[in-house]
Amino acid sequence: MVTDRTGLRPGHPIRTCIGCRGADSRSALLRVVLGTGADGIPVVLPDPERRLPGRGAWLHPGFSCLELAVRRRAFGRALRTSTPADHSAVEHWVRAHLQEPPSEHETESGFDADEHPMSTQR
């Protein structure tokens, strides 16, 4: 099997996550679309079957990418809406489909909470 420099197979659909901005295959990402809620407010809806009409955006189905997308206000830009959209449906979908709990702070490898990040002592 031949891969390109990103480690992905050529010829397969590649999409960019709106959270981390990383490229990945379409099958590894969750498609989200803009819909309308019961009260007429724009709502970001998960589209795991990739069948809902409208412009879609792609997101890694994890809490870290979801948090990044919310913090960067990426849903509005990617879905081309000027009004803020409610993203709670996507958050509920991620909670229901992932076994890992949301993390408050991501830690880098080699970093302990009680150590200074530049420390070389153990």
The per-residue pLDDT for range 61-72, each reduced to its tens digit, is 999 999 999 999
DSSP 90: H
The per-residue pLDDT for range 79-117, each reduced to its tens digit, is 999 888 899 999 999 999 885 555 554 444 444 555 555
Q: What does the alpha-carbon distance between residue 38 and residue 64 come to, in Å, rounded to a whole number?
A: 28
Angle, vertex CA 83, rays to CA 77 and CA 89, nearest 5: 80
Task: List the chain domain ranges.
Answer: 14-97
What is the topology classification, in CATH, of domain 14-97?
Hypothetical Cytosolic Protein; Chain: A; (3.30.1230)
Which pLDDT does position 122 carry in this prediction? 53
Q: Which of 16, 12, 35 is nearest to 24 (CA)?
A: 16
